[in-house]
Amino acid sequence: MKTLIRNIALVAVMIAAMCSTGASAQTLRDANYNYVGKIAPNGTVRNSEYGAVGFFNNDGTIANAKGKTVGRIDAKMQIFDKSGTRLGFVLADGTVNDGESKLLGKIDIKTGKVTDDDGDVLGYANGISIQRVAAYFFFDFFDD
């Protein structure tokens, strides 16, 4: 009976995790709340014209629109450039630091508001993992 209850709980957690990531693309907005793009569930990053500008791959690599690796996010929430230099890292509370632990900004986990180190709004991103939000807003991997 304990095994059955444990398995039911495990399935419930897995379903909740899948539901929390959403089945649809998550919207990226600028500081004025204007639509600037989205990140699809498969990791494709699209701009406001729906053109693919990059990819977040399941293995943590970040690629540009041509598929060339431009960076990486590891399991410790560290963000690296293509040469392996640590550009920064994200703490569980949404704080984003550069490679030397200097504050770059914060991602509000509840509202999705992204602010710089002075508290000025950079944009909004709800329902997207904070590592991907940080890579998008703070490290310009997909800057046209």
Residue 112's φ and ψ, nearest 5 degrees, are 80, 5
Q: Mean pLDDT for each consecutive 10-residue tract of the chain (144 residues)?
A: 40 36 69 93 91 94 93 94 94 93 93 95 90 90 73
pTM of the shown model: 0.77
Residues in the chain: 144
SS3 state at 90: strand
Question: What torsion, rounded to 10 degrees, do the Cα atoms 87, 80, 138, 57 define?
Answer: -170
Q: What is the pLDDT of residue 140?
A: 83
